[in-house]
Structure formats: C-alpha cells, structure tokens
Amino acid sequence: MSKVKILLSLFMGIALLFPQMSKACTNFLITKNASADKSVMISYAADSHDLYGELYYWPGQQWPEGAMLDVYEWDTGKYLGKIKQASETYTVIGNINEHQVAIAETTFGGRKELRDTTGIIDYGSLIYIALQRSKSARQAIKVMTELVAEYGYYSSGESFSIADKNEAWVMEMIGKGVGNKGAVWVARLIPDGMVSGHANQARITNFPMNDPENCLFSEDVIEFAKTQKYFDGKKKNFSFADAYAPLDYGALRFCEARVWSGFRLMNPEMEKYEDYVKGESSERLPLWIKPSKPVSYRDLQNIMRDHFEGTSMDMTKDAGAGAFGKPYRFRPLTWKVDEKEYFNERAIATQQTGFSFVAQLRSYIVPDAVGGVLWFGVDDAATSVYVPIYCGINSIPENFKVGNGSLLEYSSTSAFWIFNRVSNQAYSRYNLMIEDIKKVQTRLEDKFEDYAPVIEQAAKHLHQLDPAKAKEFITEYSLAQSKLTFDAWKDLDEFLMVKYLDGNLHKEENGVFLKNEHGNPYHAEFPGYSKEYYQKIVDETGEKLKMKKLPGEESTH
C-alpha cells in the first residue's frame, strides 16, 4: 500500500507525487447479479500507518501534442521518469472516473528478485493514469499492461480490482526483474452473479488460456515462470499465485483470512474455510463465490468494518482486547516471547486506514455523472461514515481536500483529523463508546440512503434540461453531505469527551446531558469493568488485591 499526494501541473511540469503507504489493504468485488440493485461494486481500504486520508481530484482536459507526464513512485515520492501524456484525460474523483470506471489494489509482494528498480511505472501510477485514460474496465487493463510493457514496471507484485458499470475484473501483476522490462500478469473477469476479493495475497491460480472474453494474460506468463524455475509442469496445471507468490502461514492468517471473513458474511457456507486460513486444511479458498443473497452497498460498507466478530478469531474476545473489548492490536503484528514468535490477528477494519470506499457503478442510471457513486470515508472504516461522492462532481469538499492538513499538520477543518479524534478516544473504552459512534454513523448513512432516490431523480431531470446544471446540483449535494458529516463528527468528539470524562459516565438521553433539579450534573456513574475482566484480575493476582479486615474492624464498605 502507499500514501498518495498528487499534484497536477502543466506541460513539462506534470507530476504524480506519491508519499509512503504500507502493504495492507483489502478489496471486495461484487458483480451486477450478485448485488441488490444490479450495480457493480468494488470496495477498498487504503491501510497505512503513514497515509493521510484525503480525496484526490484531476479535472479532465485536452493535452498538446508532445506533452509529457512526470511519474513519481507512490510509495516514496521518488522520481521515476517521464512518459507520454495522452491527448485527452478524463476527470477522476478519488478512485473513480467520470465514465464510472473504478480501480483499487492490494500489494502481494511476491518474489523479491522480480522487482525492476529501473522501471518507470509503479502500481500507484498505473491506477491513476489508467483512470484518466479509460472509459471501461477492459480499456483500463489495456492501458495498464501497455504502460508497463513500454516503460517497465517498478513495483512488487500487485492485485488490482478493475470495474466499470458492467464488469468487474481481478488483475494480478508482477515485474520480471532488472534487465527484463515489463511484467507478467493475468486478468480474470468475475462471472456475473459472483463476488470476489483479495487482501495482499495473489489469488489467481489456474486460468483458461483460450477464453479472451473472460481471461487475459501476458504471452510469456508461463514461459517466464519456467525460465525462472518457478514452474516445470504442463500449461494446464500452471498457477499464477503458486508460481509468483507462494503461500506461507502469514499469507493465510493475515491476508486470506480477511477475504474469508468477507466471504462468510456474504455466504455462511464459507465458514468451512476457517481451517484453511488457520493453516489446518489444504482446501483452498476459491477466487469467487456466489453470495447467499444479493449484496447491497450498505452490506459491503459493513463488511469493511469487520473484526472477525462471531468467529473463533473474534478480536474483541482474546486477551489483546483488554478490559474494554477493543478489536485493535497496535503494531508490530508479530512479536517474540522466549524466542518463540506469536502474532495478532489482522482484520479488514484496522486503525491505520487512511481512507476507504465502496464504489457503486450503475448502468441503469443515465448519465454516468449520477450513476457512479464513491461512498467515501476517512480513517478506520469501523468508526467512519461513508459519504456519497458522485463521480460527476466538479469540486472537492473542503473537509476532504488535498492540502487541508497532513499527517504531521493538524487541521481543525480536516475530516481525517476529526475522525481520528473520535476513533482514538474510542480505542480507550471501546465497548462503551462504539455504541455512541454507531448511533451517529447509522443516522447519517440511513439519511444518505433515504435521500439518494430523490436526489438522483432530480439530477437526472436536470441533466435532460442542462447537463452542467445537473453536475452543479450533485456537486452541491456531495459537498453539503460532507460538511454535514464533518459537523456531526465534531459534535460527537465533544460529546464523547464529556460523557466519558476520566473514565466516568455522565447521564444523557438522546445526546443531551441530564441535570438534577438544581441545574447541576447528576453524580457520575462508575461503569467499571466486565465480570470477566475482574475474574482475570483475581486469577492473576490471587490474594494480593483482596480486601481484608483489620483486627476488630467493622466493615464500612
């Protein structure tokens, strides 16, 4: 993964700047007939301890002949080189463009020797350049693969979710090492009615080699593996993932486990793969599955908030959850005791998320400006709000705008910072505060869902009269809901501070603090800890903390 900061300038100064992000993201893909409203959807959590959550924006434009684009690595900001600019680029809002094309990614790394440090195109550049140049998912795949073939692929192994309003694809790519310009890759169309996912581990194994409508791949993907001695069998037995990113226990427990957890929420039959993600079964998790019922965009938003609740890996239940059932484990992910290595679970929702989204792509809504929605949130998805950002907007909400604060510069008007204030409060007393957070979260997201049909109907009507006015309308709506959400979270931050001050609990009803008949606060309540936690204390301390009586003492407790 990588942190993104992108600045666009004119000819000979055009640049994509990409500060640091780390390897830890999650994607799910939902096809038309697997979704509740016949939309195509992809979700993405951009997880990094170094990522500042903001919403990127490139307005579409025409470019003069001979224009060049400076490319900087997404992970480090390192200058990689120049490439030819397209004659026309399309407007991009975050990870969706004006034609309802959306792209997300997760890094699987793979074989280290295949990193080409002389390449010009890194995976972050591929995403945002392809979005600026593509009207469909298939075209995005063509743009991405042609770019790395011409200019070289700089990054390690990567899985991409590439979707438009009709199709969803998973493409996996890895370089060929210094001196071998280009990349080997496979792209598979997710069958309609199915859902898929990936989370930092290559997942394409065997694939059809004579079905270009449903599977695309580089010509040398198998031969290169043979020359590198990664594979020596028959073509029909070739597995991309096994050749270029062999599984280890970490890949199962930290990566495949997240895909499994999302799958089980879409189809309970997937519970049977729990042994696989624990390394106790060889029955591999499939690349795609059929959900037990249609998946809505609200369902997908809530999947992005999962911490393995209800499973044996539930992060609110083990010792690391502490006294308040916190489903978060601060890094490092693994540690040693007496020279033995141990680990924490890695769930879909995590504290280090910079931003996340659910891209909803709808062929049945015309125009595209209204059909494509980026449900966008910053910070930890479990304690965030997904705000509707339509792909046809022509300006970015101030609270999400690039340049409004940074990871080392606090901004009182930045959504990233106000959401972090709330989540970081919640981590200290999670089991109590999360209930207050969910009330506001649900109230806002219910409102967005209720208003959407009316807003979209009005926007479609306006589009028939004047397309420019329709874009102004959805822009104003998206900006207003972003500001509404920011203000609500600012109020929530203050509310939590008062309600839980010093570990106490102040009485309130519907968000209003109660006072006694004299106009003063009621005496604070002391919520203490759970019975289970008190028992743990007794088990560990024995008689040490047991109350005793002095000789002749009468108890006053």
Burial 134-156 (b: 16+ CB within 10 A, else e): bebbbbbbbbbbebbeebbbbbb
- 273-290 pLDDT, tens digit each: 999 999 999 999 999 999
Q: Are 482 and 387 in contact (CB under 8 A)?
A: yes
C-beta of residue 187 within 8 angstroms of C-beta of residue 123: no
Same domain, 295 and 146: yes
Give the Cα separation of 220 and 451 in Å (integer): 50
pLDDT band per the 50, 70, 90 thresholds, residue 317:
very high
Q: What are the pLDDT digits (tens) for 11-32?
A: 223 333 333 334 579 999 999 9
Cα–Cα distance for residue pair 461/88, rounded to 1 Å: 29
Final residue belonging to a domain, choices 503, 522, 542: 503
In a 13 Å sphere around the CA of 234, the CA atoms on its Cβ side amount to 2
Round to whole Å and give the CA distance between 181 and 120. 10
Average pLDDT along the chain: 94
State mean pLDDT over 258-276. Answer: 98
pLDDT score recorded for residue 7: 33
Whether residue 158 is contained in a domain is answered as yes
Domain that holds residue 481: 365-503
**How many folded domains does the chain comprise?**
2
Q: Is the dihedral of CA 219, 220, 223, 225 positive or negative?
A: negative
Identify whether 100 is part of a domain: yes
Residue 550 lies in a domain: no
Residue 452 in this model has a pLDDT that exceeds 50: yes
Position 530 in a domain: no
At CB < 8 A and 24+ separation, what contacts does 470-474 make?
470/367, 470/369, 470/370, 470/392, 471/369, 471/392, 471/393, 471/394, 472/394, 474/369, 474/370, 474/390, 474/392, 474/393
Task: Give the whole-angstrom CA distance, residue 417 versus residue 408.
Answer: 11
372 and 298, same structural domain?
A: no
pLDDT for 77: 84
Residue 161: inside a domain = yes
Please check whether residues 217 and 295 belong to one and the same domain.
yes
Give the phi and the psi of residue 493 in degrees, each rounded to 5: -55, -45
pLDDT of residue 5: 35
In a domain, 237, yes or no: yes
Residue written as token pair 């280009």: 182
Together in a domain, 110 and 239:
yes
Helix residue spans in 77-207 (DSSP H): 123-133, 137-151
Instruction: Please tell me the predicted confidence (pLDDT) of residue 2.
Output: 39
Asked if the model's pLDDT at residue 291 lies above 90, the reply is: yes
Tens of pLDDT, residues 185-230: 999 999 999 999 999 999 999 999 999 999 999 999 999 999 999 9
Tell me: do 407 and 488 sit in the same domain.
yes
- What is the pLDDT at residue 14? 32
Do residues 522 and 516 lie in contact, with contact meaning Cβ atoms separated by under 8 Å?
A: yes
Q: What is the pLDDT of residue 148?
A: 98
